[in-house]
Amino acid sequence: MKIIGITGSIAMGKSTASAMLARMGCPVHNADAVVHRLMARGGAAVAPVAALFPGTLQDGAIHRPSLRQAVLGKPEQLARLEAVVHPLVHRALKRFLLDHQRVGRPAVVIDVPLLFETGGDTRCDLVLVVDCSPAVQQQRFLARPGAKLETLQAIRAHQMPQAEKRRKADRIIPTGAGRAATWQALAAARRALVSADWSRPPVWPIQAYKNPSFRGALHGPHLAGL
- Taking the CB of residue 142, how many other CB atoms lie within 10 A of it? 13
The pLDDT tens digits for 130-171 are 999 999 999 999 999 888 898 888 888 878 888 899 999 999
Q: What is the pLDDT of residue 195?
A: 64
- Taking the CB of residue 133, how many other CB atoms lie within 10 A of it? 13
- Taking the CB of residue 135, how many other CB atoms lie within 10 A of it? 9
Provide the strand spans (E) within the chain: 2-7, 28-30, 57-58, 61-62, 107-111, 126-131, 171-174
Q: Across the strands, what pairs with 109? A: 4, 28
Sheet containing strand 107-111, edge to edge, reads 28-30, 107-111, 2-7, 126-131, 171-174
Contact 119, 203 (CB under 8 A): no
Burial of 199 (0-12, 13-18, 19+ CB in 10 A): exposed
Parallel, antiparallel, or unpaired for β 28-30 and 2-7? unpaired
CA distance 147 to 159: 18
Could you tell me which residues come within 8 angstroms of residue 100 by beta carbon, excluding any fewer than 6 positions away? 1, 27, 108
The pLDDT tens digits for 191-221 are 876 565 444 433 333 344 333 333 343 444 4
Parallel, antiparallel, or unpaired for β 107-111 and 126-131? unpaired
Q: What is the pLDDT of residue 52?
A: 94
Range 61-86 average pLDDT = 89
pTM of the model: 0.76
Predicted confidence band at 67 (pLDDT cuts at 50, 70, 90)?
Answer: very high
What is the fold of 2-219? Rossmann fold (3.40.50)
Predicted confidence band at 226 (pLDDT cuts at 50, 70, 90)?
Answer: low
Res 54 pLDDT > 70: yes
CA distance 166 to 164: 5
**Count of positions (residues) in the chain:** 226
The overall average pLDDT reported for the chain is: 83
**Which of 40-49, 133-142, 179-188, 189-198 shows the lowest per-residue confidence on average (mean pLDDT)?**
189-198
* Ranges of H-type helices in 53-178: 64-71, 75-102, 134-142, 149-158, 162-168
